[in-house]
C-alpha cells in the first residue's frame, strides 16, 4: 500500500524538475496569460439586489413578477428625497410649492436615460407627503420602465441626481437628502471601494511585515505581492468569463473577499513550499535540487489542501441562492489559479533567484533550534491524552454558544455612518412611521376572470388588522381588472428583523387566509424577500454542509490512504467551526449586545474554516506520516511533526488570520463580524486543532489511524523519494 505514496511523490518531483529546468519559460507563460486575460476578459459585475439571489418559486419573487406584469408603473421606490428647512422650522405652503417645483423639474433635468420615472410628493389620497409635525416632506422616486435600480448605471444616475438637486434647492432655504434603495446602493458601493483599498493595503502591510520577521528577506517579503498580483489578474478575468457564461449574480462583497482569499491562501501555499525549500538548502543541496525536493515533500500537501478548498467552495453550487452559486465558483477559480501558481510560478521564481532569494539575511543557513515547538512536541508525545482533552474541551466549550446563534437580515446596519443615505434615513425615521420608507406590496390576483371590486375593501381591512401593519392603503386595480395591489405601511423598518418576523408570520397568514374565494394573495417587498432568504438558507445548510464534508473526507481518504483518519479529522474541523460560531455569538450578541449576526455568516465560517482548517490538518498529518515512515512510533512521530510542521502552521496561521482580520477595518458591520469570525476560526484551526488536537488524537489512535492503507509504515528504500535517506552534504 506504500506504492501510491511513492508514485505521487515522484510525480511532484517530476514537476519540480520540469519547472526548475525551464523557469523563464514558466514565468513568461504566466505573464502572457495575465496580459491576455486582462485584455480580453469582461469586467467583474456584482449586484446588491437581494431578490436576484432567490429562485422563482418563492412567494416574494412571484409577487415581484406579478407587480411588474400587472402594475409596471408601481414598482418599489428607487429613492426617497427627504426635504426639510435649513433652519429647522416647519415647512410653509411656499416651501411645499418649492418641493413640488423641484420634483417636477428633476426628471427633465436628468433626462430620459436615467432610472428616474417620476418624483411623487403626495400620498395616494393626493395630500402632500408631510410628516405630522410639518417639518419634513418626502419625494418618492419611482423606477423608469426597464430600469433595475441595482446596476452600475443606476448608481451613476443616483450620483447625477444628487448633483442636479444642489442647484435646484439653492437659495430656497431647503435642505434635501437622498436615501432609499439606489442611493444606499451607491453609498455602499463607494464605501466598498474604500474598504477594498483599506483591506488591500492592510493585508499587504501585514504579510510583508510578518514575512520580514520570519525570513529577514526583502525578496521573500515582496514575492507574495508580485505573485498574487499576477494570480489576481488571471483569476478575476476567469471569474468574469464564468459569470457571463453562466449568468451568475455575484454579491457586491466578492471583490473584497477575493483580495483576502488570494493573499491569505496564496501566502500560505508559498510558505508551505519555502519552508521545505529552505530546509533542504540548509542541508547543502543545490537550488534546483532543493526546488525538486520541496515540491516532492510539500507538493502533495499543497495540492490536497487546495483541492479541499476548491471542493468546499464548489459545494456552493448546490445552494438554491444565486449569491452562493456565484461566489462558490468564483472563490474556487481563485484558489485553483493560486494552487497552480504555487506549484509552477513560485518554484520557477525561486529557481531563478537562487540564494539571492534570502537577501540580505545570512541566518537562513543556520538550522533554528525550534526549542519552543520541540518542547510542545515532546510534551504532546508523552501525554497525548491530556493535550487532546484540553484542546477538545476548549473548542467544545465555545461550541455550546453556537446554539444561541440568531440570524439577522438587517442590511441597513451594514451601511457606513456619515454618508448621505444613512443621514437621510435617520431624518426620515425621526418624522415618519418606520415602515413608510418602503410600503410592502400585496398582490391579489384572480384565478380566473376579473376581481370582484366589492371584495377589495374587506380584504384591505383584514390586512390592516394584522399584527405589524400600521396602515393598509386601498387596493389599486390593474388595467385588465384581474389583479389589485395593496400597499402596507409596517410598524417597523422594512429591512429590520422585526419586519421579517411580521411578514413571515401574521401578515402572510392574514393575506393568504383573507383572500376572497377564487383569488390568491402574494406578499412582496424587502421583508418578504428576507423571509424567503431565511427559508432558502435553512435548506442550503442541510445540503451544502454535508456535501462539502463528504467530498473533503474523500480527498483526505485518498491522500492518507486511510478510512479512519478522515473521520476524526473532519470531526475536529466541525468542532472548530462550532467553536468559531460560538465565539462570534459571545462577542457580538452577548458582549456587544447585537440582536443577531448576519445570516450568511455560518456558511462563510463553515467554508473557510472547514477548507482552510483542513489545509493545516493536511500539512500536520502529512508530516506526521512522513516521520512515521522513517520508522518512528506514533507518539514519537507526533512529537517530531509538531516540532517541524509547527513553525510552518504557526506562520501560515498568523498571516492568514491577520489577512482575514483586516476585514474588520472596513467599517461595514457584515465585514467586521466576518473578519472576526474567520480570523478567530483560523487561529483555532492552526493553534488548537492542527497543532494539538489532531496530532494528539493520531498519537492516541496509533497505527489504527492509518487503516487499511497503513501509510505510516516505514517505506522500503526502493520506494522512497529520491534522496530521502541520503545525507546530502556527504553525498556531495
Do 726 and 608 lie in a common domain? yes
Query: What phi, psi does 47 have (nearest 5°)?
Result: -140, 150
Do 206 and 85 lie in a common domain? no
Do 515 and 536 lie in a common domain? no
CA-based diameter of the chain, in Å?
A: 100
Residue 429 inside a domain? The answer is no
d(CA 269, CA 223): 12
In this structure, what C-alpha cell is assigned to residue 91? 415647512
d(CA 463, CA 469): 7
Q: pLDDT tens digit string along 378-392?
A: 999 999 999 999 999
The DSSP-derived string for 292-329 is HHHHHHHHHHHHHHHHHHHHHHHGGGG-SSHHHHHHHH
Q: pLDDT tens digit string along 637-673?
A: 999 989 888 888 888 788 878 877 877 876 667 778 8
Do 335 and 454 lie in a common domain? no
Residue 55 inside a domain? The answer is no
Do 513 and 637 lie in a common domain? no
Q: According to the model, what pLDDT value does residue 465 have?
A: 93
Q: According to the model, what pLDDT value does residue 730 have?
A: 35
Do 195 and 172 lie in a common domain? no
d(CA 337, CA 309): 12
Domain at 239, CATH number: 1.20.1640.10
Tell me which range, 126-135, 342-351, 368-377, is most confidently predicted by mean pLDDT. Answer: 342-351
Q: According to the model, what pLDDT value does residue 499 have?
A: 86
Do 90 and 218 lie in a common domain? no
Q: Where does a domain end: 179, 196, 212?
A: 179
Structural domains of the chain, count: 3
Domain at 483, CATH number: 3.30.70.100
Reported for 143-149, long-range contacts at CB under 8 A and 24+ positions apart, including other chains, are 143/75, 143/76, 143/78, 143/115, 143/117, 144/112, 144/114, 144/115, 144/116, 144/117, 145/72, 145/73, 145/117, 147/78, 147/114, 147/115, 147/117, 148/49, 149/49, 149/78, 149/115, 149/181, 149/182, 149/185
Q: Cβ(645)–Cβ(620) under 8 Å?
A: yes
d(CA 577, CA 487): 43
Do 706 and 581 lie in a common domain? yes
Q: Where does a domain end: 490, 524, 558?
A: 524
Q: According to the model, what pLDDT value does residue 729 have?
A: 38
Do 513 and 585 lie in a common domain? no
Q: Which residues fall within 8 angstroms of residue 277, CB to CB, at 6 or more apart?
A: 290, 291, 293, 294, 350
d(CA 197, CA 402): 32
Q: Which residues fall within 8 angstroms of residue 635, CB to CB, at 6 or more apart?
A: 381, 382, 384, 699
d(CA 135, CA 504): 34
Q: pLDDT tens digit string along 482-515?
A: 999 998 989 887 877 788 889 999 999 999 999 9
Residue 451 inside a domain? The answer is yes
Residue 56 inside a domain? The answer is no
In this structure, what C-alpha cell is assigned to residue 419? 454618508
Residue 424 inside a domain? The answer is no
d(CA 106, CA 79): 13
Q: Where does a domain end: 148, 179, 210?
A: 179
In this structure, what C-alpha cell is assigned to residue 570? 473532519
Extended beta strands in 109-256, E state = 116-120, 136-143, 174-179, 250-251
Do 568 and 666 lie in a common domain? yes
Q: According to the model, what pLDDT value does residue 114 have?
A: 61
Q: According to the model, what pLDDT value does residue 621 have?
A: 85
Domain at 82, CATH number: 3.30.70.1430
d(CA 687, CA 268): 15
Residue 384 inside a domain? The answer is yes
Residue 422 inside a domain? The answer is no
DSSP state of 633: -
Do 644 and 712 lie in a common domain? yes
Distances (CA, A) of 679 to 413, 477, 608: 21, 53, 10
Do 235 and 349 lie in a common domain? yes
Residue 263 inside a domain? The answer is yes
The DSSP-derived string for 174-209 is EEEEEESHHHHHHHHHHHHHHHHHHHHHHHHHHHHH
Mean model confidence pLDDT for the chain: 81
* pLDDT (average), residues 36-46: 77
Q: pLDDT tens digit string along 681-692?
A: 989 988 999 899
* pLDDT (average), residues 203-228: 82
Q: Cβ(267)–Cβ(207) under 8 Å?
A: yes
Q: What residue numbers bound the domain in which 138 lies?
A: 78-179
Q: What percent of the chain has pLDDT over 90?
A: 22
Amino acid at each position: 500500500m506504500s506504492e501510491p505514496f511513492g508514485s505521487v511523490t515522484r510525480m511532484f518531483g517530476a514537476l519540480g524538475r520540469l519547472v526548475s529546468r525551464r523557469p523563464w519559460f514558466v514565468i513568461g507563460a504566466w505573464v502572457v496569460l495575465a496580459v491576455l486575460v486582462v485584455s480580453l476578459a469582461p469586467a467583474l459585475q456584482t449586484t446588491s439586489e437581494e431578490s436576484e439571489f432567490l429562485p422563482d418559486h418563492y412567494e416574494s419573487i412571484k409577487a415581484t413578477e406579478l407587480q411588474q406584469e400587472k402594475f409596471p408603473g408601481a414598482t418599489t421606490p428607487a429613492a426617497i428625497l427627504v426635504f426639510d428647512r435649513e433652519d429647522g422650522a416647519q415647512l410653509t405652503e411656499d416651501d411645499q410649492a418649492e418641493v413640488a417645483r423641484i420634483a417636477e423639474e428633476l426628471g427633465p433635468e436628468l433626462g430620459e436615460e436615467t432610472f428616474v420615472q417620476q418624483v411623487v410628493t403626495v400620498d395616494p389620497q393626493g395630500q402632500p407627503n408631510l410628516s405630522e409635525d410639518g417639518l419634513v416632506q418626502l419625494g418618492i422616486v419611482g423606477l423608469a420602465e426597464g430600469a433595475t435600480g441595482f446596476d452600475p448605471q443606476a448608481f451613476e444616475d443616483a450620483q447625477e441626481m444628487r448633483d442636479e438637486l444642489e442647484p435646484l434647492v439653492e437659495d430656497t432655504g431647503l435642505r434635501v437628502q437622498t436615501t432609499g434603495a439606489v442611493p444606499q446602493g451607491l453609498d455602499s458601493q463607494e464605501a466598498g471601494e474604500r474598504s477594498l483599498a483599506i483591506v488591500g493595503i492592510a493585508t499587504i502591510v501585514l504579510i510583508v511585515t510578518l514575512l520580514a520577521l520570519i525570513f529577514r528577506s526583502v525578496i521573500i517579503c515582496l514575492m507574495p505581492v508580485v505573485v498574487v498580483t499576477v494570480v489576481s489578474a488571471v483569476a478575476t478575468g476567469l471569474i468574469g468569463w464564468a459569470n457571463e457564461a453562466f449568468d451568475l449574480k455575484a454579491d457586491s462583497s466578492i471583490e473584497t473577499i477575493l483580495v483576502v482569499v488570494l493573499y491569505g491562501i496564496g501566502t500560505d501555499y508559498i510558505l508551505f513550499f519555502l519552508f521545505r525549500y529552505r530546509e533542504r538548502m540548509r542541508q547543502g543541496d543545490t537550488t534546483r535540487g532543493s526546488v525538486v525536493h520541496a515540491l516532492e515533500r510539500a507538493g502533495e500537501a499543497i495540492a490536497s489542501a487546495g483541492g479541499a478548498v476548491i471542493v468546499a467552495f464548489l459545494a456552493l453550487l448546490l445552494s438554491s441562492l444565486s449569491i452562493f452559486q456565484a461566489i462558490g465558483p468564483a472563490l474556487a477559480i481563485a484558489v485553483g489559479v493560486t494552487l497552480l501558481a504555487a506549484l509552477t510560478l513560485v518554484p520557477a521564481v525561486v529557481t531563478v533567484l537562487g540564494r539571492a532569494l534570502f537577501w540580505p539575511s545570512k541566518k537562513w543557513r543556520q538550522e533554528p533550534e525550534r526549542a519552543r515547538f520541540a518542547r510542545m512536541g515532546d510534551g504532546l508525545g508523552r501525554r497525548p491524552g491530556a493535550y487532546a482533552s484540553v484542546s477538545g474541551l476548549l473548542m467544545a466549550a465555545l461550541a455550546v454558544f453556537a446554539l444561541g446563534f440568531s440570524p439577522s437580515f438587517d442590511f441597513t446596519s451594514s451601511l457606513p455612518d456619515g454618508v448621505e443615505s444613512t443621514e437621510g434615513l435617520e431624518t426620515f425615521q425621526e418624522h415618519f412611521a418606520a415602515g413608510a420608507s418602503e410600503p410592502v406590496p400585496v398582490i391579489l390576483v384572480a384565478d380566473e376572470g376579473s376581481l370582484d371590486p366589492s371584495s377589495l375593501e374587506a380584504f384591505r381591512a383584514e390586512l390592516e388588522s394584522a399584527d405589524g401593519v400600521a396602515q393598509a392603503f386601498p387596493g389599486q386595480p390593474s388595467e385588465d381588472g384581474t389583479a389589485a395591489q395593496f400597499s402596507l405601511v409596517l410598524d417597523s423598518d422594512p429591512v429590520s428583523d422585526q419586519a421579517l418576523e411580521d411578514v413571515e408570520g401574521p401578515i402572510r397568514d392574514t393575506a393568504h387566509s383573507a383572500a376572497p374565494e377564487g383569488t390568491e394573495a402574494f406578499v412582496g417587498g424587502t421583508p418578504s424577500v428576507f423571509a424567503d432568504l431565511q427559508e432558502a438558507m435553512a435548506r442550503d445548510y442541510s445540503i451544502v454542509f454535508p456535501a462539502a464534508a463528504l467530498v473533503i473526507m474523500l480527498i483526505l481518504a485518498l491522500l492518507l490512504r486511510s478510512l479512519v483518519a478522515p473521520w476524526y479529522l473532519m470531526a475536529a474541523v466541525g468542532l472548530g467551526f462550532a467553536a468559531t460560531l460560538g465565539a462570534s455569538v459571545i462577542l457580538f450578541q452577548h458582549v456587544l449586545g447585537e440582536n443577531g449576526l448576519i445570516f450568511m455568516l455560518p456558511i462563510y465560517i463553515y467554508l473557510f474554516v472547514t477548507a482552510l482548517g483542513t489545509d493545516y490538518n493536511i500539512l500536520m498529518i502529512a508530516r506526521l506520516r512522513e516521520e512515521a515512515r522513517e520508522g518512528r512510533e506514533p507518539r514519537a512521530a507526533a512529537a517530531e511533526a509538531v516540532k517541524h510542521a509547527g513553525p510552518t502552521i504557526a506562520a501560515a496561521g498568523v498571516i492568514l488570520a491577520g489577512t482575514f482580520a483586516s476585514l474588520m477595518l472596513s467599517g461595514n458591520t457584515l465585514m467586521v463580524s466576518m473578519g472576526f469570525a474567520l480570523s478567530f476560526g483560523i487561529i483555532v484551526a492552526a493553534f488548537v486543532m492542527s497543532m494539538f488536537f489532531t496530532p494528539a488524537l493520531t498519537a492516541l489512535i496509533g497505527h489504527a489511524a492509518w487503516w487499511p492503507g497503513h501509510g505510516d509504515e516505514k517505506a522500503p528504500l526502493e520506494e522512497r523519494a529520491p534522496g530521502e535517506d541520503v545525507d546530502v552534504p556527504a553525498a556531495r
